[in-house]
Amino acid sequence: MTAAVPATAFVAHWSRPARLRSAANDLAIGLPLPLAAAALVARAGGWPTAFAVVVAGLALVAMVAHARSRRFDKVWLVRQLDAAHPELEDSSDLLVSDANLGPLQRLQRQRIAARLAAIDAATLRPGWQTRPIAAAWLIGLAIAAAALSWPAAGGSAPLRPRPVTARPAGPPRLIGQRLRITPPAYTGLPARDAALTTRAPTGSRLAFALRFAPNPTSAVLQGVDGRRLPLTRSGDLWVASDTLNRSLLYRVVAAGAAPGALQRIDAVPDVPPTIRVIEPERTLTPMAVGQTRWQLRFDVSDDHGVAATARLRLIVTSGEGENISFRETSRVITGSGDRKRRRFDTSLDIRSLGLTAGNDIVAQLIVADNRMFGRSPNPQTSRSPSLILRWPPDLGQEAGGLDGMVKTVLPAYFRSQRQIIIDTQALIKQRRRLAPDRFLAQSDTIGVDQRTLRLRYGALLGDESSAAPVLPTSDAPAEKPRDDALPKQDRLPSGHAADDGHDHGSAKPVFGSADDVLADYGHAHAESDAATLMDPASNSLLRQAVDAMWQSELNLRQGAPEKALPFALIALARIKAVQQATRIYLSRTGPELPPIDLNRRLSGKRTDIIAPALAPAPRASDGVNAVPAAAWRALAGPGPVALGGVQAWAAAHPPADPLALAAAIDAVQRDQGCTACRKALRAQLWAAMAPPPAQVLRRAASDMAGKRYLAALQ
């Protein structure tokens, strides 16, 4: 340091470490103070105020620290230097003296200035004030923690109080409410507290606890539908309890006060269990070859709980064709899984159930839930779809290795009369193009077909023919031995065989019985009218048909299809007539036709005929909607609207959401001037009204210009 340095700068340089250390000490001691104060203030007045307190406190601490660092001045420096460094020879005041010094003084100053260079300014600063700092922080933090974590006054009360701003006076007001809902035990739901508008399972116990200020003389829960549930006073609380059987729309009414707002409690009904079939995948399962067991698997879920056991209904059919009998058994299956979702698995032994080929097992699961009404169980049951296991009828034959031995029945191939007509007409058209011999051959072929058909119909009439076709059916009789192979005594004089189907009478002639002459010597062929089961009219028609076929066959065989065609057509017409005649009609619910007045029948007179009432029955067009429509119109305009009729109408024609309509009606009844309420009620009424049939609004009349225009158009 040289003497050129002014005294103030010298002091500042040497006292700076000390001033800094002193300020740091002061800050460290003072800092917890504003923080603790801020925590206290934050608890009382909120965080913005606390922030302001922190800022102000910090400023204060800084000011104090600054003021305290002033004491490190020239006097302190001289004293400190002299005290700490004896090598300065108590002459340090010379270093800070600005006065004119004597020569000796200047010499001494140069000497100690040289020594001063070896001294560090930091040796002059005071030490850290650790104890006060630690104490200050401890106290400050303790205060802050206590202020922030002190429990709030009051705590959570069981009743939720509304903030009471004024002294309770005037009409009673609802200041606290609690609705305890205890669902039925079978649901397994816990009891809970709810708001006054809520949803709860049907059958829940509702316990209301209300608090009024001041206490009214009486209070009631008034349902919109007229139900009343009086509240009884117990101490400060007004309590009532009820069972929720159907949805409620109510309000709290205290004597001497305006009724409260509408509250709504929706009763949620128990739903029946739902059954999902996991296995088999399809309703109808054909039995596989070698299958011995049938696996069934069901998944049942319910909103509250499924009964632990379910009943499996089994129906086994037996027999075939129309002779089928049923055997019903049932067995109990125990489910697995939790209460709300259970699985029912079973495996049926097919053989022990007695299933035979061509028959079915029908299985159905019947499962109940755990619903109870009061103390008595009242379960709801659900049934699964019927699952069918079918043993296919042909499975047995295949299993028996009889595949190749199935006999097929050959159908009888012959042409119908209509086909013969079509063929004949086609042949006539082809006549020019065909060679005569080929034409004749084709005509003959059709003739053969006609003959086959004639014999077929003739058989119905009892005709006999040696050449009647023997159909190769599986039930054909065994081939008879030839006639000439028969013993002689079996031949009758007429040449007939004894067992040829005709009545040949008794073998021994009896004297006097002339009737048997024919039987003995003649050949009583079957009388056409008596030989079949048909009535005489049909029989004669069929006879005509066969005769016509005869003529048709004759001409076809002679190569004259033109001549054959009319007979073929006659034959077809007769056959159709027989078919019509023999069709049987059964009247199920026969029309009750009025008796025919035979005096007027076919007379052509139409007098005194009453016009039948075919006009549609009149129907009241606006009848259903009259009441709500009138209210709906009135609500669009100003003024009070009487809504009693609408309430009665809604009771008779319940809409989709009756409670919403009731609430809307109630809101308007309470405040007829409330525009929003009226609009809400109009919307509810619109939804409740059935759409009217489309009516007709005629167009407006034209004005004078329009009329002139239309007149000029003509």
Partner 1 sequence: MTALGMCLALAALIGIARLLWWQRTSPAPAKPWRLALLAALQIVTAGLLWLTLEPPPISGHAGTLVVATAGAPRLAMLAAGDALVALPEAPTLAGVERVPDLATALRRHPGTRALRIIGTGLPPRDQTITDLPLAFDPPPLPRGLVSLTAPAPVAPGAAFRVGGYVNNVPGGRVTLLDPAGRNLASAPLGPLGEFTLAGTAGAAGPAEFTLRITDAARRPVETAMVPVVAAEPVLLRALIMAGAAGPDLKYLRRWATDAGLGVSASIAAGNGLDIGDATPRLDAASLAKLDLLILDERSWAAIGAGGHAQVLNAVRGGLGVLLRVTGPLPDATRREWAALGFAADDATSPLRLLGEGPVLTQVTTRPGRDMAALPGAPAGHWRNLGRGRIALWPVTDLYTLVLAGEGQRHGAIWSAIFATIARPQAASPPRLSPDAAPGARMTVCNLGSAASVRQPDGAVTTLIVDAGCAAFWPRLPGWHELRGTAATPFLVTPPSPARAAVQARTATLALVQPGSSATAAPPARGPSWPWFLAWLIASALLWWFERSRYGRAIPG
Torsion of CA 551, 557, 560, 562, to 10 degrees: 50
Enter the tokens of residue 228.
Answer: 């009343």
Q: What x/- string results for residues 668 through 707 when contact with partner 1 is judged by CB under 8 A?
A: -------x---x--xxx-xx-x-xxxxxxxxxxxxx---x
The neighbour count for residue 62, using CB atoms within 10 Å, is 14
For residue 364, what are the β-bridge partners? Answer: 313
CB of 254 to partner 1, least distance (A): 34
Candidate list 616, 652, 676, 705; residue touching partner 1; CB under 8 A: 616
The 539-558 site mask, x for binding partner 1 (CB under 8 A), equals --------------------
Name the minimum Å distance from CB 592 to partner 1.
19
Stretch 425-454 residues interacting with partner 1 (CB under 8 A): none
Long-range pairs of 157-165 with CB within 8 A, sequence gap ≥ 24: 159/209, 159/211, 159/237, 161/211, 164/213
Which residue number, 456 or 682, has a Cβ lying nearer to partner 1? 682
Nearer to partner 1, 531 or 689 (CB): 689
**Interacting residue with partner 1 among 401, 479, 619, 704 (CB under 8 A):** 619
Stretch that binds partner 1, among 257-265, 419-427, 509-517, 621-629 (CB under 8 A): 621-629
Instruction: Please state the closest distance from residue 661 (CB atom) to partner 1, in A.
Output: 11
CB 634, min distance to partner 1, A: 9
Extract the tokens encoding 105.
């003084």
At its nearest, how many Å lie between partner 1 and the CB of residue 602? 13
How far apart, in whole angstroms, are the C-alpha atoms of residue 638 and residue 306?
Answer: 56
Of the pair 375, 606, the CB lying nearest partner 1 is at: 606
Residue 282 or 606: the one with the smaller Cβ distance to partner 1 is 606
Q: Is 525 in the site for partner 1 (CB under 8 A)?
A: no
Structure tokens at 208: 């209301």
CB of 616 to partner 1, least distance (A): 5
What is the C-alpha to C-alpha distance for residues 56 and 623, in angstroms, rounded to an integer?
Answer: 81
x/- contact string, 626-645, with partner 1 (CB under 8 A)? --xx--xx--xxxx------
- In which order are the strands placed within the sheet that holds 219-223? 192-194, 173-182, 205-213, 237-243, 228-234, 219-223, 248-254, 263-268, 198-201
Decide whether 450 or 684 has the Cβ nearer to partner 1. 684
Asked if 375 and 186 count as a contact pair (C-beta separation under 8 A), the reply is no
Determine, following the binding rule CB under 8 A, whether residue 622 of this chain makes contact with partner 1.
yes
Tell me the closest approach of the beta carbon of residue 290 to partner 1, in angstroms: 51
Judged by CB, which is closer to partner 1: 163, or 637?
637
Q: How far is CA 212 from CA 131, 223, 265, 583, in A?
A: 59, 19, 21, 89
Of 472, 471, 466, the closest CA to residue 496 belongs to: 466
The answer to the question of residue 56 lying near partner 1 (CB under 8 A) is: no
Q: Are strands 237-243 and 274-279 parallel, antiparallel or unpaired?
A: unpaired
The amino acid present at 80, given as its one-letter code, is Q
Site string for partner 1, 585-614 (x = CB under 8 A): ---------------------x--x-xx-x
Q: Which is nearer to partner 1, 117 or 614 (CB)?
A: 614
Nearer to partner 1, 169 or 611 (CB): 611
Q: Which stretch binds partner 1 (CB under 8 A): 119-127, 179-187, 440-448, 616-624?
A: 616-624
How many chain residues touch partner 1 (CB under 8 A)? 47
The answer to whether the CB of 528 falls within 8 A of the CB of 539 is yes
User: Which of these, 383, 377, 302, 296, lies nearest to 339 by C-alpha position?
Assistant: 302
Whichever of 148 and 636 has its CB closer to partner 1, that residue is 636
- Give me the helices (H) in 156-312, please: none
Segment lying near partner 1 (by CB under 8 A), choices 5-13, 14-22, 33-41, 622-630 = 622-630
Site pattern 72..101 for partner 1 (x: CB under 8 A): ------------------------------
CA–CA separation, 54 vs 303, rounded Å? 59
Residue 285 DSSP label: E
Taking CB under 8 A as the criterion, the residue among 621, 644, 651, 674 binding partner 1 is 621
**Which residue lies nearer to partner 1 by CB, 317 or 684?**
684
Tokens of 388: 């069918």
Closer of 198 and 672 to partner 1 (Cβ):
672
Instruction: Give the residue, chosen from 530, 615, 652, 704, that forms a contact with partner 1 under the rule CB under 8 A.
Output: 615
The residues, ordered by sequence, that sit 6+ positions from 29 with a Cβ below 8 Å of its Cβ are 129, 132, 133, 136
Smallest gap from residue 614 Cβ to partner 1 (A): 5
Choice between 307 and 681, CB closer to partner 1: 681
In this complex, which beta carbon is closest to partner 1, that of residue 514 or of residue 712?
712
Question: What's the min distance (Å) between Cβ of 604 and partner 1?
Answer: 9
Q: What is the dihedral of CA 654, 660, 664, 666, to 10 degrees?
A: 80
> Cα angle vertex 393, ends 392, 395, to 5°?
70
Angstrom distance (rounded) from CA 223 to CA 262: 9
Among 625, 641, 662, 668, binds partner 1 (CB under 8 A): 625
DSSP string covering 287-355: PPTT--EEEEEEEEE-SS-B-SEEEEEEEEEEEETTEEEEEEEEEEEE-EE-SSEEEEEEEEEHHHHT-
Q: Report the interface residues with partner 1, using CB under 8 A.
A: 606, 609, 611-612, 614-619, 621-622, 625, 628-629, 632-633, 636-639, 675, 679, 682-684, 686-687, 689, 691-703, 707, 710-711, 713-714
